[in-house]
Amino acid sequence: MVRANHNRLRALGGAVGLFAVAASAHAADLPSVKEPSPAPVVDSFQPFFVKLGFTYALNTSSSRLWGQSPTALLQGVTTAFPAGVGATLTDVATIGFEAGFYVTHNISVDVSAAIPFYIKDKTKGYNPANPVLFSGTTLAQIMPAIVPITVLYHFDNFGPIRPYIGGGIGVGWSFDNKNAFLNDVHVSSSLGPVIQGGVDYMFDRNWGLSLDVKKAFNYVQSYANGVNLPVVGPFPAKTYQHTNFDPWLFSIGLVYRFGGGEPLLAKY
């Protein structure tokens, strides 16, 4: 009896072994399944760009004035005193442009400029004497220029929308100065920090719409060698003006990217 059970167990074990071998052979005959290949990425990177559009300079500037009093000068006193009023610059609308290149896919170096126009340097406040100055008196007309040079980081995980932020320096000077209440006006050059932010919306690999804002912080010193007094006329008196030239620069326009050749399959 025991021997018969032992023979049956040996037969059952052999059958199981044969089934395992057959299953292995069948599995070896089946085609292997590969992981799907990732979709190819088209690299349409264009390293150079230019922007052209409308720029509005909101001049949130403020100035401190000192001057030699004509009355005191006639008495031989040449010391310059606070003028009793401040000054500010008017806003200006112009055509702005910007150019630059991408050092990497996300970091660019930008240079901005605009067509210069004359703006008015006006008094802010009222001084009743030596000389009389009413608020809003035009001291001079100047043609300022500021050229921001910035480094920007562009975020590229929003599809065609590419916001950016960064900063740099702004170089400022005046192309020309016209007399008004002041004569023989001189404006020094300046250098100060600039912060910048904005967004590019790309229609395709080359063309897009750009919205941009910059804030400049420049300190400017200027002086004049004379004043135009009512009735008296031109009078030699030194006037000094220290200005915190801190405009907001708002721009909207087209952006064109180029220089990358035809799109290629990305290698990364």
From residue 149, how far is each of 29, 173, 196, 205 by CA, in Å? 67, 15, 10, 25
Q: Is residue 9 assigned to a domain?
A: no
In the predicted model, is pLDDT for residue 15 greater than 50?
A: no
Reduced 3-state DSSP string for the chain: CHHHHHHHHHHHHHHHHHHHHHHHHHHHHCCCCCCCCCCCCEECCCCEEEEEEEEEEEECCEEEEEEECHHHHHCCCCCEEEEEEEEEECCEEEEEEEEEEECCCCEEEEEEEECCCCEEEEEECCECCCCCECCCCEEEEEEEEEEEEEEEEECCCCCCEEEEEEEEEEEEEEEEEEECCEEEEEECCEEEEEEEEEEEEECCCCEEEEEEEEEECEEEEEEEEEEEECCCEEECCCEEEEEEECEEEEEEEEEEEECCCCCEECCC
In the predicted model, is pLDDT for residue 31 greater than 70?
A: no
Q: Is residue 34 assigned to a domain?
A: no
Q: Tell me the C-alpha distance between 125 and 38, whole Å.
A: 69
Instruction: Tell me the per-residue pLDDT of 43-66, one tens digit each, with 9 for 90 and over.
Output: 678 999 999 999 999 999 999 999
CATH number for the domain harbouring residue 117 = 2.40.160.20
Q: How sure is the predictor about 189, in pLDDT bands with cuts at 50, 70 and 90?
A: very high
Q: Is residue 139 assigned to a domain?
A: yes
Instruction: Tell me the per-residue pLDDT of 56-94, one tens digit each, with 9 for 90 and over.
Output: 999 999 999 998 888 778 788 888 888 889 999 999 999
Q: Is residue 36 assigned to a domain?
A: no
Kindly tell me the burial class for residue 97, based on how many C-beta atoms sit within 10 Å of its own C-beta (0-12, 13-18, 19 or more).
middle
Q: Is residue 108 assigned to a domain?
A: yes
From residue 127, how far is each of 41, 124, 132, 233 by CA, in Å? 69, 10, 6, 19
pLDDT at 16: 43
Q: Is residue 176 assigned to a domain?
A: yes
Q: Tell me the C-alpha distance between 155 and 166, whole Å.
A: 12
pLDDT at 68: 87
Per the structure, the complete domain to which residue 254 belongs is given by 43-260
Count of domains for the chain: 1
Q: Is residue 38 assigned to a domain?
A: no
User: Is-contact 187 142, C-beta < 8 A?
Assistant: yes
pLDDT at 135: 94
In the predicted model, is pLDDT for residue 183 greater than 60?
A: yes
Mean pLDDT of 222-231: 91
Half-sphere exposure (CA, 13 Å, Cβ side) for 20? 6
Q: Is residue 76 assigned to a domain?
A: yes
